[in-house]
Amino acid sequence: HTDGDTFTLCTSPQCEKISFTNNLFKFNVTTFTIYTAQVTPIACGDTITKNTTLISDISMTGAGTCLTFGADDIFLDCSGFKIGGDQSFSSTGILIAHRQRVNVSHCFITGFENGMNMTNVSITKLNDINITNMTVDGVYILNLTNIDAQDMHLTKSIVHEIEIINTTKIGRAHV
């Protein structure tokens, strides 16, 4: 670490980023100095493989998936930012397939064929998710085991707000 007017990159093990919500970073530090956070912007088309916090709205046009979960044991905190599409055929806001222990929170998802697609997933937590203006399903769930969904707001999907197929152990579901 460095003191004075020089900023030091927040890296492990001296500094661990805990969260970024409402434009405020929270860190756990073992030494004090003036830290800076290295922020890598997330864009539609990305696969996330570590804990991720959005720092701005992201959007896409055409078919495809905006964000794909590519690892287990991670969370996505949208910090209230929008994940947007143009209602194209074969478009998905967030895809979680063949994953376990993933969390998604504080997201506003709009303008896809499917807002969220969760297939073959276990132990999932969803909190404070707003999904609107989908051309098919707000949330599509297939073969999911153990979901805890709180404060889900699903509106204006043409076919289903939520479609659940072969899913077991739905915990607290406040939809």
The per-residue pLDDT string of the chain (175 residues; one tens digit each, 9 = 90 and over) reads 334 445 556 666 777 766 666 556 677 777 766 655 555 689 999 999 999 999 899 999 999 999 999 999 999 999 999 999 999 999 999 999 999 999 999 999 999 999 999 999 998 899 999 999 999 888 888 888 888 888 888 888 777 777 776 666 555 544 4
pLDDT at 166: 66
pLDDT for res 1: 37
Cα–Cα distance, 95 to 100 (Å, whole number): 13
Contact 143, 122 (CB under 8 A): no
- pLDDT for 10 equals 65
Element (H, E) at 173: strand 168-173
DSSP state letter for 171: E
Dihedrals φ, ψ of 74, to 5°?
-130, 165
Task: Identify the sign of the CA torsion 53, 106, 58, 103.
Answer: positive
Q: For 167, which DSSP code?
A: -
Residue indicated by tokens 């063949």: 98
Give the pLDDT confidence score for residue 140 in this predicted structure: 87
Give me 15's structure tokens. Answer: 């500094």
Q: For residue 49, give the 3-state DSSP assignment.
A: coil
d(CA 98, CA 157): 25
